[in-house]
Amino acid sequence: MSIDWVTVLAQIANFLVLVWLLKRFLYKPILNGIDSREAEIAAQMSEAARAQQKAAAAEADFVAQKQQLLAGQAALVEQVRQKAEQQRDALLTEAREKLEQERQDTLAHLSRERERFTTELYKASAETLYQLAGRALHDLADERLEEHIALHVVSQLTPLSEELASAADNAEEAVATTHAPLPEGARQEVKAALQALVPGLPLRFATDDSQSPGLVLRIGSTQLDWTVDSYTDELVGLLEERLASGESGRMRDHGE
Amino acid sequence: MQLTPDETTVFTLWGLGINETVVNTWIVMALLTGASILVTRKLRPDVPPNRWRTTLEVIVTGIQRQIEEISPQSSRHVLYFSGTLFLFIALSNLLLVVPGFTPPTSSLSTTAALALAVLIAVPLFGITRQGIAGYLKTYIQPSVIMLPFNIISEFSRGISLAIRLYGNVMSGAVIAGILLGIAPFFFPVVMDVLGLLTGLIQAYIFAILATVYISSATAIVKKPENKEEDR
């Protein structure tokens, strides 16, 4: 056991070389790599922290937007609901008004129908009455009736004196036509009454089978009828006038 | 029985005999440097470390952590020095299991060289850190009377380092050789395993002691706080 000083020096030199080699190829690369990796990790961590902060901010923003959206949605739903209710009320009101209008129209239509039916009924009744009256008068008409009518004419001429006088100016004669021949007494009375009103105008009596029972007096172009037909026509006229006035009054009573 | 590989000359270069110690040292150096170059040749920060690089990182950071525990203000130069000591001694001792390979650390010349390196490195680190005056002042601390004792202590450190390492490694090799003669099948294996453990422990102790010496040399001596008051 001895120390070889040449070997000692060689080993010192070897050791120093080894220190340099390991410093060059081991320690520096490894430690620098660790340092750079640590720096990179630190940078990544800080980047991750920034990304996390950004994500947190984005999340907060998203939550706020979501809440805002939800609030807006609720308001929108409420608005739509109110609008729907208003529209429903409007539709209901419109439907009610329409129904009321239709009801009023139906009532008016019914009223008009009833009025028309009543009018038709009255007209039919009047027509029937007219026919019955005419038929009854025709059936009952005879010389006596025409005589009575002639005597009645005598009393009716006086109010017509002016018309008769003007008609007689252009006439040569007056003609009294009956369905059947008048009795002589009646003829004289009619003649006397006419002469009293229109003196000098000759009166001729004639018969016409087609004429309605009664007396028709023609002076020139003027004709005065006192026949069954003229009476029934007058009756019809009165009835129609009466119906026209009676219908409206009756309808008003119903309306009230 | 050959106790040191210094006596075996492997080849002669320019008339100088290269013994087994130097050659085996070169082998260890080649292994360490080659492994380092292989692992760190394509080292890029953007590439994830592979298992070999991770292994080296664990070893280097482990050494660095041990040094920082002893001396928190230590520079990287301490890591280069103490880490190289540890790696060289550890690998040399681990290669004990290779048949025919005599660890260079089983040579007293090698351990003496390493101890001398420590002996030289300690004042160099101290002077670098504190300056010549500051370092030399540590020899007269706490008083001038302690100067010879500090000098003796300084040299005894180197001697103890060298002898401790040499004795442990050489004794392990010698005991393994003796047991190989007595019981060739069982005891050598056990002793080799024990030798590996002892070798690693010795490497650790040597590197740690070197670091402690460097740390004590680089520690700045604080002045007493009551000095102002005394004035």
ipTM of the complex: 0.85
Low-confidence residues of chain A: pLDDT under 70: 1, 246-256
Inter-chain CB proximity A18 and B3 less than 8 Å: no
Residue B44 has pLDDT above 80, yes or no: no
Selection from A62-66, A134-138, B156-160, B227-231 with the highest mean pLDDT: A62-66
Q: What is the tens place of the pLDDT at every residue in B168-226?
A: 766 766 776 777 777 667 776 777 787 788 888 888 988 988 898 888 878 765 555 45
> B127-139 burial, b for 16+ CB within 10 Å, e for fewer?
bebbeeeebeebb
Would you list the DSSP string of A141-204?
A: -SHHHHHHHHHHHHHHHGGGHHHHHHHHHT-S-EEEEESSPPPHHHHHHHHHHHHHHSTT--EE
Note down the domain range covering B155.
5-230
Determine the pLDDT at residue B220.
65
Q: To 10 degrees, the CA torsion angle through B103, B109, B110, B115?
A: 140
* Alpha carbons B166 and B93: distance in angstroms, whole number: 11
Q: Which whole-number Å values give the CA distances from B189 to B174, B178, B194, in the listed order? A: 14, 13, 9
Task: Please name the residue of chain B whose CA is at the shortest distance from the CA of residue A13.
Answer: B113
Q: State percent of chain B over pLDDT 70.
A: 85
Select from B43, A66, B44, A152 the least CA-distant residue to A58: A66
Q: So what's the pLDDT on residue B231?
A: 40
At B222, which helix (H) or strand (E)? none
Structure confidence at residue B230 as a pLDDT band (50, 70, 90): very low
- Mean pLDDT of chain A, nearest integer: 85
Residues A3, B30 contacting (CB under 8 angstroms):
no
**SS3 of residue B52 by DSSP:** helix
Position B173 scores a pLDDT of 66
Tokens for B114? 């390493």
Structurally, what CATH architecture does the domain formed by A141-255 represent? 2-Layer Sandwich (3.30)
Task: Choose between B79 and A150: higher pLDDT.
Answer: B79
Number of folded domains in chain B? 1
Q: pLDDT tens, B92-146? A: 988 888 888 888 888 888 888 888 888 888 888 888 888 888 888 878 877 888 8
How much is the pLDDT for B229? 43
pLDDT (0 to 100) of residue B26: 94
- Non-local (6+) Cβ contacts of A70 within 8 A are none
Q: How far is CA A216 from the centre of its chain?
A: 56
d(Cα A175, Cα A162) in Å, to the nearest integer?
18
Of A3, A15, A34, the CB nearest to B117: A15
Which residues make Cβ contacts (< 8 Å) with residue B113, sequence separation at least 6?
A7, A8, A9, A10, A11, A12, A14, A15
What pLDDT was estimated at residue B99?
81
**What are B's interface residues with A at a Cβ cutoff of 8 A?**
3-4, 6, 16, 19, 21-22, 25-26, 29, 32-33, 36-37, 40, 43, 45-46, 49, 53, 56-57, 60-61, 64, 76, 79-81, 83-85, 87-88, 104, 107-110, 112-114, 116-117
Q: Domain extents for chain A?
A: 1-41, 141-255
Instruction: Give the helix/strand (H/E) hosting A15.
Output: helix A5-22
